Amino acid sequence: MALSLYLHIPFCTVRCAYCSFNTYAGLEDLMPAYVDALCKEVNLVGATIGRLGEGGIALEDRRVHTVFFGGGTPSLLPDGAVREILHHVRSAFSVAGDCEFTLEANPGTLGAAHLQALRKSGVNRLSLGAQSAQPGELRLLDRAHSFEDVVAAVRWARHAGFDNLNLDLIYGLPRQAPAAWSESLERAIELEPEHLSLYALSLEHGTPMRAWVERGLVDSPDQDAAAEMYELAGERLALAGYLQYEISNWARAERSYPSDGDLPDRACRHNVQYWRNLPYLGFGAGAHGCATGWRYSNVLSPRRYVESLGRGGAAELPCSPAVAERTRVEGVTEMDETMLLGFRLTREGIRPDWFQRRFGESPRKRYGKRLFALEADGLIENRPERVRLTTRGRLLGNRVFEAFV
């Protein structure tokens, strides 16, 4: 069974006002030691993971089909660091010839030469945090780039040979005008990315944005307005040739127009691995992984992470001294999570035949009453070949997810 790797790069020049991820500004001096520790962890886990198959989904080999550099701002890594990390990935694991190598980047941190170096290192998919085309909205979000930086980054990326680009956009901001959201969407479409990820603003605990709202300095986001922006985006992207395959993600179908239920060609294969609840390994400070029946997370502090890699590894998954927490994922829990995550895939949903082969039990037999109630409420389609959200269910997805928590 194919495996995915997530590599967390926690460094940022500025921590954005809405961000709740494990990121840090002002630690650039730690980058060389961090890269060295990350390579050590990859080697340590790769050397032992192939021998582990207890519980859950046995990893018959170490074949990797997606690698994802997330953050933070992976594009802040110095020239050569990504190439070095990928060298160790290829040495420690069996990497598929068509492996998807994604790197997240902030547009203001990229240049033509840097993008050429990334492409030569093997990165073949770039995810740019555009967020908005409106200067005022970018300032509200504490983004350190302009939309002109996005345009330049796309141009340089194409020149470097990237033919698989994603743009992130955020909607549902305080006092965001529908016209402003529409303009951001149009300017993103004009750049012709292969993929678009659209996220509603979420006020996470511990973020400056949430504090501003709680203190009355910024208006609370309007959820009804956000829902209207979401529907507008779906209609506009469909006209532009994008297929929605996940609640927040759209992609082009370039080679052929997929039949109902199939994923578009440019769907993010790494994220699909998560939504299908398939095995992945996490590396780096605060990274999460789930494989062979275990879910785990690493220490949050980058300095503690670096220090931990000076010690020897454990004998069982995930075989890394950086692990802070480890939880057994039992069969029933894995089935529940597979249902919950699978509903995010708006085209594919959950395929009963695949679920039966994986777990030896039909989802309709285990979840019949819940599925019937959700179908009666108009939130899901319960067809023989697949179970998935309706259009209404996409707007009220939390009601569906809660049924499997």
In order of start, what are the domains of the chain with their CATH numbers?
3-275 (3.20.20.70), 332-402 (1.10.10.920)
pLDDT of residue 53: 45
Outline where 124-255 has alpha helix (H): 135-140, 147-160, 178-190, 208-214, 223-239
Alpha carbons 168 and 127: distance in angstroms, whole number: 7
pLDDT of residue 84: 97
DSSP one-letter code for 28 = G
Amino acid 183: pLDDT: 97
Angle of helix 223-239 versus helix 178-190 axis, rounded to 10: 30
Give the sign of the dihedral formed by CA 157, CA 101, CA 129, CA 143: negative
- Provide the mean pLDDT of the chain: 90
pLDDT in tens, the chain (405 residues): 689 999 999 999 888 878 878 888 889 999 999 999 999 999 989 887 755 544 434 455 568 999 999 999 999 998 899 999 999 999 999 999 999 999 999 998 899 999 999 999 999 999 999 999 999 999 999 988 999 999 999 999 999 999 999 999 999 999 999 999 999 999 999 999 999 999 999 888 888 888 888 898 888 888 999 999 999 999 999 999 999 999 999 999 766 666 677 889 899 999 999 999 999 999 999 999 998 888 999 999 999 999 999 876 665 666 789 999 999 998 899 999 999 999 999 999 999 999 999 999 999 999 999 999 999 999 999 999 999 999 999 988 889 999 888
Distance in angstroms (rounded) separating the CA atoms of residues 241 and 252: 6
> From CA 201, how far away is CA 360, in angstroms rounded?
39
Sign of CA dihedral 382, 383, 384, 386: negative
Tokens linked to 126: 């770039």
Closest CA to 386 of 361, 341, 355, 358: 355
Those residues whose C-beta lies under 8 Å from the C-beta of residue 166, and which sit 6 or more positions away, are 102, 125, 126, 127, 128, 193, 194, 195, 196, 197, 268
CA–CA separation, 67 and 270 (whole Å) = 7
The enclosing H or E element of 308 equals: helix 302-308
Exposure string over 259-295, b if 16+ CB within 10 A, otherwise e = eeeebbbbbbbbbbbbbbbbbbbbbbbbbbbbbbbbb
d(CA 364, CA 340) in angstroms, rounded, equals 14
CB atoms within 10 A of CB 144: 17
Within 13 Å of residue 2, how many CA atoms lie on the same side as its CB? 17
Q: Exposed, middle or buried: residue 75 (CB in 10 Å: 0-12, 13-18, 19+)? A: buried
Q: What is the structure's pLDDT at 262?
A: 83
| pLDDT score, position 310 | 83
Exposed, middle or buried: residue 40 (CB in 10 Å: 0-12, 13-18, 19+)? buried
Please, what is the end-to-end C-alpha distance for the chain in angstroms? Answer: 26
Q: Is 320 helix (H, G, I), strand (E, B) or coil?
A: coil
Round to whole Å and give the CA distance between 388 and 400.
10
Please, which residues have CB within 8 angstroms of residue 83's CB and are 6 or more apart in sequence?
Answer: 117, 120, 121, 122
Residue partners of 113: CB distance under 8 A and separation at least 6? none
Query: pLDDT at position 255, please?
Result: 60
